[in-house]
A and B are shown apart, each in its own frame.
Chain A
Amino acid sequence: MSTLEIRGLKVTVDTEQGVKEILKGVDLTIKSGETHAIMGPNGSGKSTLAYSIAGHPKYTITGGTVTLDGADVLDMSVDERAKAGLFLAMQYPVEVPGVSVSNFLRTAATALRGEAPKLREWVGEVKSAMEGLKMDPSFAQRNVNEGFSGGEKKRHEIMQLELLKPKFAILDETDSGLDVDALRIVSEGVVRAKEANNLGVLLITHYTRILRYIQPDFVHVFAAGKVVEQGGPELAEKLEANGYAEYVNA
Chain B
Amino acid sequence: MTTLQSNLLENHTPTGREEAWRFTPLKRLAGLHDGSATPEARNSLALNGASQSGVTFTRGAISAASPSDDSIVNRIRNYTSDGATLSIEKNTIVESPIFLNRSSGGVDTAELSRVQIKVGEHAKATVILENTGDTHLAEDVEIVLAPGSDLTFISLQEWGAKTVYAATHNAIIDRDATFKAIHVTIGGDVVRILPKVEFVGPGASADLQGVYFATAGQFFEHRMHVDHAVPHAKSNVNYKGALAGDKAHTVWIGDVYIRAAAEGTDTYELNRNLLLTDGARADSVPNLEIETGEIVGAGHASTTGRFDDEQLFYLMSRGIQEADARRLVVRGFFNEVISLIGNEEIQERLMARIDDELEKAGK
Contacts and interface: CB of A to CB of B under 8 A. Distances in A.
Output the residue of B320, B322, B329, B333 with the most chain A CB within 10 A: B320
Contact of A79 (B311, B320, B331, B335): B320
B317 A77 contact: no
Nearest to B333: A98
A149 B318 CA distance: 21
Contacts of A79: 316-317, 319-322, 325
Nearest to B313: A56
B320 A107 contact: yes
Interface in B128-151: none
B344 interface: no
Contacts of A88: 317
**Chain B contact residues: over half helix, strand or loop, or mixed?**
helix
Nearest to A109: B319
Interface string A18-59: 000000000000000000000000000000000000111100
A140 interface: no
A160 B314 CA distance: 12
Contacts of B313: 54-57, 78, 94
Contact of B314 (A87, A96, A143, A164): A96
B319 A164 contact: yes
Contact of B331 (A93, A99, A112, A160): A99
Contacts of B95: none
A93 B314 contact: yes
A209 to B, nearest CB: 27
B317 A104 contact: no
A108 B336 CA distance: 22
A77 B313 CA distance: 10
B332 interface: yes
A79 B336 CA distance: 27
Contacts of B328: 96, 99, 103-104, 107
A164 B332 CA distance: 22
B345 interface: no
A97 B322 contact: no
A138 B319 CA distance: 24
Chain A, interface residues (CB within 8 Å), range: 20 to 34
A234 to B, nearest CB: 33
A83 B319 contact: yes
Given A97-B332, A98-B335, A111 B321 contact: yes
Contacts of A87: 317
Contacts of B336: 97-98
B334 interface: yes
A94 B310 CA distance: 7
A61 interface: no
Given A57-B309, A78-B313, A107-B328, A97 B320 contact: no
Interface string B281-321: 00000000000000000000000000001110111111111
Contact of B318 (A55, A82, A95, A143): A82
A56 B315 CA distance: 12
B324 interface: yes
A91 to B, nearest CB: 12
B319 A97 contact: no
Interface in A58-99: 77-79, 81-83, 87-88, 90, 93-99
A143 B30 CA distance: 43
Contacts of A99: 328-329, 331-332, 335
A164 B333 contact: no
Interface in A101-156: 103-104, 107-108, 111-112, 143-144
A104 B325 CA distance: 10
A160 B318 CA distance: 9
B317 A97 contact: no
Contacts of A111: 318-321, 324
Interface of B: 309-311, 313-322, 324-325, 328-329, 331-336
Given A96-B311, A104-B318, 4 more contacts: A88-B317, A94-B313, A103-B328, A111-B324
24 contacts: A54-B313, A55-B313, A55-B317, A56-B313, A57-B309, A77-B316, A78-B316, A79-B320, A79-B321, A79-B322, A82-B317, A94-B310, A94-B314, A95-B311, A96-B311, A97-B332, A98-B336, A99-B331, A99-B332, A104-B328, A111-B320, A111-B321, A143-B332, A144-B314
Q: Which 8 A-B residue pairings sit nearest by Cβ, starting from the closest?
A: A98-B332, A98-B335, A82-B319, A78-B316, A108-B318, A94-B314, A99-B332, A112-B319
